[in-house]
Amino acid sequence: MKQRNFGKLDWKVSALGFGAMRLPIVDNDASKINEPEAIRMIRYAFDNGVNYIDTAYVYHRGTSEVLVGKALQDGYRKKVKLATKMPTWLVKSQEDMDRYLDEQLKRLNTEYVDFYLLHGLDAERWSKLTELKVLD
């Protein structure tokens, strides 16, 4: 797997990452992920050089983060960088930012994420989040 420098970080990211927005599902229901197949796919990617995975609070109606957390068990968490996203449209206060992150960490069954992105950011949401001191 080809790798590239990742900005100024002392880390090289694989040319391909794994996005967990469209995982295999059961009964044509986006909230019902085919867990064995999805975990097999994710781990196959990791075993073959992918070292970055991306998910979000709302993917698969809230079940993607849980599935990714399961895929990261058995030592896989140490092999990859994990990104998820703050659901900016739901944030109304500074406390919400902490509450959503804590919930996401539980869903992901991890103590930390490597990249926490601002999901669905537009000018209006950016203005609101800067008022709430999101960068603090």
Active site residue: 52, 59, 76, 100, which one?
59
Q: Which domain holds residue 35?
A: 3-131
Percentage, residues of the chain above pLDDT 90: 99
Q: Is residue 136 part of a domain?
A: no
Q: Is residue 77 part of a domain?
A: yes
Q: Is residue 122 part of a domain?
A: yes
Q: What 3-state DSSP class applies to 112? A: coil
* pLDDT averaged over every residue in the chain: 97
The model carries a pTM of: 0.94
How close are the terminal C-alpha atoms of the chain, in Å? Answer: 36
The stretch 35-48 carries a mean pLDDT of 98
User: Other C-beta atoms within 10 Å of 59: how many?
Assistant: 23
pLDDT in tens, 65-115: 999 999 999 999 999 999 999 999 999 999 999 999 999 999 999 999 999
Q: Is residue 74 part of a domain?
A: yes
Q: How, if at all, do strands 29-33 and 25-26 pair?
A: antiparallel
Q: What 3-state DSSP class applies to 59? A: helix
pLDDT computed for residue 117 by the predictor: 98
CATH code: domain of residue 23? 3.20.20.100
pLDDT computed for residue 52 by the predictor: 98
Active site (annotated) includes residue 59: yes
For residue 26, the cross-strand partners are: 29
The domain total for the chain is: 1
Q: Measured between alpha carbons, how far is 112 from 4 in angstroms, rounded to an integer?
A: 23
Q: Token digits for 111? A: 């103590």
pLDDT computed for residue 66 by the predictor: 98
pLDDT in tens, 54-65: 999 999 999 999
Q: Is residue 19 part of a domain?
A: yes
pLDDT computed for residue 75 by the predictor: 97
Residue 53, phi-psi category: left (phi > 0), alpha (psi -120 to 50), beta (remainder): beta
Let me know how long the chain is: 136
